[in-house]
Amino acid sequence: MGRIGFLNRLIRQKTTTRNLFHFGKAKGDTGKYEQIVSTGLVSPERCVPEEIEKPAYFFKNLPPGNTLGTPEIKTKDQIDAMRLSGRLAAKILRECGKLATVGRTTDQIDAFAHERILESKAYPSPLRYAGFPKSICTSINNIACHGIPDDRQLANGDIINIDVTVFFNGYHGDCSETFLVGDVDERGSFLVEATKYCLDQCISLCAPGVEFNEIGKFIDRYCDEHDLASIAAFIGHGIGSYFHGPPEILHYYNEFPGKMQPGMTFTIEPILSLGGADIAVLEDGWTAISLDGARSAQFEHTILITETGTEILTRDR
């Protein structure tokens, strides 16, 4: 989940030389797939036992966290706690991915994730965050992100991003992956593979002293080379005891200042499209779809900047 701070960036973007949506519409074949044009039936909110530690937004409707400001430098104890939350999120995500099969509904995947997270004595972070009604996000085909699990059955040839975040021992761990459902066409498979590689390369750039904007600059070049577009409306973000905080990780060319320092933790989560970069949000206030109907894929990790490089906290090992 990474749309926080978007309006602030739109205002600040006026001071830069590149336009936020400079990628425009990519040319070429977008492949064969079932386009999502409306949302399905969303089941009632799932219960959370009293003994599960909950974030403040569970008890009171709060706005999204602010991603502007000075990034937090984590202590050793905080980092150790985030290793646990990140590892749990990655484990749940891997298990959810096995359920991304033809005929299964995203609501069923949400129910599974909800129960597995509770069994682990953790809280599903998306639930009630700024009013989000479910425990994970499930985004299919032309849904860019923040898809709400519902009663639609997964179809042969779908691609689906599953976004899992857990709140465990007071800290959030956040990750996502795009999975292939059944027999996915060549263009869809290319998109998923290319997006995963893009995230891996972004992570490899990170180290103490590196400018945050190197991530966006790389994504810009990568998309130009592969005839893709970055859906730049959504960002990576700082994370810790808070779900979203500074720094902002922008997935498009930018020259905003800021350097990585040891002890910083944040997500990188590019969304790449076979079509254009423009999106619209449906009436539910969350589901973001591509305006041109093209498919997109997303991969996400929570990372730690170490003294010598990076550590992926959301790696299931």
Residues making up the binding site for a divalent metal cation = 163, 174, 237, 269, 300
Q: Distance between CA atoms of 201 and 29, rounded to whole angstroms? A: 25
278-299: string of b/e by CB count within 10 Å (b at 16+)?
Answer: bbeebeeebbbbbebebbbbbb
Annotated binding-site members for substrate? 146, 244
Token duo for residue 301:
């990790």
Is residue 144 within 8 A of residue 1, CB to CB? The reply is: no
Q: Distance between CA atoms of 279 and 146, rounded to whole angstroms? A: 12
The radius of gyration of the chain's CA atoms, rounded to the nearest angstrom, is 18
Among residues 257, 174, 263, the alpha carbon closest in space to that of 210 is found at: 257
| HEC profile of 9-61 | HHHHHHHCCCCCCCCCCCCCCCCCCCCCCCCCCCCCCCCCCCCCCCCHHHCCC
CA distance between the termini of the chain: 23
135 burial (CB, 10 Å; 0-12 / 13-18 / 19+) is buried
- Other Cβ atoms within 10 Å of 7 Cβ, number: 9
Own/partner long-range contacts of 54-60 (Cβ < 8 Å, ≥24 apart): 54/123, 54/167, 55/123, 55/125, 55/129, 55/167, 55/243, 57/128, 57/129, 57/130, 58/123, 58/127, 58/128
